[in-house]
Amino acid sequence: MKGPFSHRGWRRHKIRLQTNWQRFLNDWRRLIQNRLAVLGLVLIFIFSLMAISHPLLRATVWQAGYYNPVTGYDLELMHPAPPSWRHLLGTDSLGRDVLSMLLAATKPAFVIGFAAALTTALIGTASGTLAAYRGGLTDRALMHLADAFLLLPAPLFMIIIGMRFREIGPFPLGMLYGIIAGAGGAAIIMRSHALTVVSKPYIEAARVAGGRDLHILWVHVIPHLLPLAALYMMLSVTSSVVADAFVSFFGFSRDYLNWGTIIYSSFIYSSYLDTGVEWHILLPPSVALSLFATAFYLVGRGVHEVANPRLGKH
């Protein structure tokens, strides 16, 4: 019996899986040796707990009327109220609990960040690999397209779309970012790296042995591009979340709460009510946005060293 389901075929798949798993473990060991990357992973874990804890707190500990991040209001206090045991980060000028708002904004940040990351990696890897492997007209067409996307940076495009279509959700907004970033700068860099892989002798040997194009790309080319794709995923999370926050900070209301909305509200409502900007309203979302972006940037730096081991020697 021949084919992928024969004994020999299963054996090849098993060896390939073991090789890829061993390569992943080696990359992971190098990553966790980077202290800054580990710090980034810890911060990402903390933000994950923040996103998970908000619905749990509202379902078990917090009273819905007081701690709703959009319409909540504590009738027993004058607002804005400073931090207390009742409201650990205080309340804003509209009487909403700042901690509840801060936690509620974490989930959209992850959604838009991961949507942008996955889309950037998929499009950038596919476009760059295909351009490097096929060459000729395909290469020129994809690279001309990438040059065109570079004329409109993804964060700027995302801000324009977010201002024009305020009802757009975090997932499609993140995908739009990933399409622009992936087809632009990511595709160019991935093509450059893929060219070095495609020129290796084992690629020509695979062709001579009768390997199909899809098989060669999937087995011999793309695995070598994964660390670089992971780097672009991390950078896309940072850029997309910051761009989304800027849209809200400029005063363009969204159908979901994010940290930019909280920062904007701390300025606009305090000026309307003549209460002044309170530190307990402005500082938490600003710090959360900075640390969220920093976390993925640090992990991205660690992934960059995994993709380019020579960097760790300097």
pLDDT at 251: 63
Per-residue model confidence as pLDDT tens for the chain (314 residues): 445 545 566 676 677 677 767 777 777 888 888 899 899 999 999 999 999 999 999 989 898 788 999 888 888 888 888 899 889 999 888 889 999 999 999 999 999 999 999 999 999 999 999 999 988 899 999 999 999 888 878 877 877 887 777 778 889 989 999 999 999 989 999 999 899 888 888 888 888 877 788 878 887 888 888 888 888 888 899 889 988 888 887 766 667 888 988 888 887 766 555 666 678 888 999 999 999 999 999 998 888 787 766 545 54
How many other CB atoms are there within 10 angstroms of residue 167's CB atom? 7
d(CA 201, CA 206) in angstroms, rounded, equals 9
**Residue 177 CB-half CA count within 13 A:** 33
Element (DSSP H or E) covering residue 64: helix 64-67
pLDDT at 6: 55
pLDDT at 314: 47
Contact 158, 238 (CB under 8 A): no
Contact 75, 262 (CB under 8 A): no
DSSP 26-42: HHHHHHHT-HHHHHHHH
Q: Which CATH superfamily groups domain 13-67+89-313? A: MetI-like (1.10.3720.10)
Contact 302, 31 (CB under 8 A): yes
CA proximity to 191, closest of 232, 238, 239, 237: 232
The single-letter DSSP state of residue 92 is -
Q: What type of residue is 280?
A: H
d(CA 305, CA 122) in angstroms, rounded, equals 21
pLDDT at 305: 80
- 97 by DSSP, 3-state: which? strand
Structure tokens at 52: 């998970």
pLDDT at 94: 83
The predicted model scores a pTM of 0.84
Q: What type of residue is 163?
A: M
pLDDT at 93: 82
